[in-house]
A and B are shown apart, each in its own frame.
Chain A
């Protein structure tokens, strides 16, 4: 069954057929579909890629090892979908890739997806000592990129920080950063997002 669905994705010869085939494969919720769904990220078909992300997120943790090992270093479009999937699944095994992507990827789409994901990882899956170090690394990276020259990166950093502020120990440095951003940031859209984050805290 899944094999046929995979073959349908591989042999789709129009964008519309591709989308339909990926949607069916994603709906099968079969682990055997994981490599094919990841491969769809590189097909330059955004609608199919979004469906593939949704399918992988639905599968959850079981998709994480392959998502991590099959990140496309040469195609930033594909890489952004991988990072979106990892961010949405929120498995802390993705932390190193998300930190690197948020801080150093050249593609803003990848960095934004990673920044959003860094705030939302499932911290309870880590033991106490791992958790403390993971949280401080995420906080540090998000604070750093909140002064990036690209407004959309700063916006995504605010979204990540808002989520991270659910951790009581991190609330005060995050509040301080938000106050500072409201004074220094020159983009109205970023300031508005800071205010929305403050409302949620």
Chain B
């Protein structure tokens, strides 16, 4: 449990927490309590200064280690900081991109994406060095040498156009999930429909998990041409609704919306999935 990259961890006998207690628990002598507190602060989006400062400090925790040398508390702190939306965390998260722990690097890349941290581009690009040839599985571990999906997605989300030539080769990576992440980033950086269409094509894959990945990518980039393909994809309605919501929001620049033909068409598709 502690070694994998599971997003959320809910202890069976978790103590009920409040904000103050959770922040205090980040430095508890009990590393289990620290780990849970970091998750809890992200889950309940506690973005007070004390919470953010406590989590940033937890990015350098040395006490909580796994058998394989991982840093569970750092992973949870990095995940939480992405959810809190405070850009104070950016410097600490960029440092974490060079952590020895794969899951710390992955969580940090994901959170830098959520924080739209354009300052992270050089460090993210560094992790792509060696290109596709270097992007291989770590022997005996369930992951590649770097968290390529998270890195590619982050570079796309922060608009790192300087990374295009590094990202493009990953369209041919042997793993379809990595190809999808590259297509998603390439679309965001170039707005070239051929990259959106690659993701639409992935909706026809035999692999349900990959179809879900492609749906979420299409939602994230708001690729409007995919609307009907999303509505018809062989995936659970909940995933399709979220993807169509992504498309819809992309068409709505602000809360003060005026409806267009496209937005109405999207909502009709969503209504039919309820």
Contact = CB atoms under 8 A, between A and B. Distances in A.
Contacts of A195: 257, 259
Interface in A43-72: 46-47
Interface centre among B234, B242, B267 (most CB of A within 10 A): B267
A41 interface: no
Interface in B247-274: 248-249, 252, 254-255, 257, 259, 263-264, 267, 270-271, 274
Contact of A115 (B238, B255, B257, B274): B274
A47 B237 CA distance: 12
Nearest to A194: B257
A188 interface: yes
A109 B237 contact: yes
A159 B263 contact: no
A1 interface: no
A54 B118 CA distance: 49
B236 interface: yes
Given A108-B238, A196-B267, A116 B274 contact: yes
A191 B257 contact: yes
B178 interface: no
Interface stretch (A26-34, A127-135, A138-146, A150-158): A150-158
Interface of chain A, main secondary structure: helix
A159 B274 contact: yes
Nearest to A111: B274
A90 interface: no
Contacts of A47: 234
A46 B234 contact: yes
B241 interface: yes
A2 B248 CA distance: 44
A152 B259 contact: no
A17 interface: no
A126 interface: no
A113 B245 contact: no
B249 A188 contact: yes
A191 B255 contact: yes
Contacts of B274: 112-113, 115-116, 155-156, 159
A194 to B, nearest CB: 10
Nearest to B238: A109
Contact of A46 (B236, B257, B263, B264): B236
A116 B271 contact: yes
A189 interface: yes
A151 B254 CA distance: 17
Contacts of A159: 271, 274
A193 B238 contact: no
Contacts of A188: 248-249, 252, 254-255, 257
Contacts of B249: 188-189
A192 B255 CA distance: 8
Contacts of A193: 267, 270
A163 to B, nearest CB: 10
A199 interface: yes
Shortest beta-carbon contacts, A-B, top 4: A116-B274, A112-B274, A188-B252, A189-B245
29 contacts: A46-B234, A80-B237, A108-B238, A109-B236, A112-B274, A113-B274, A115-B274, A116-B271, A116-B274, A151-B245, A152-B238, A152-B241, A152-B242, A152-B245, A155-B241, A155-B270, A155-B274, A159-B271, A188-B252, A188-B255, A188-B257, A189-B248, A189-B249, A192-B257, A192-B263, A192-B267, A193-B267, A193-B270, A195-B257
Interface of B: 234, 236-238, 241-242, 245, 248-249, 252, 254-255, 257, 259, 263-264, 267, 270-271, 274
Interface of A: 46-47, 80, 108-109, 112-113, 115-116, 151-152, 155-156, 159, 186, 188-189, 191-193, 195-196, 199
Given A115-B274, A155-B270, A191-B257, 14 more contacts: A80-B237, A108-B238, A112-B274, A116-B274, A155-B241, A186-B255, A189-B245, A192-B248, A192-B257, A192-B263, A192-B267, A193-B270, A196-B264, A196-B267
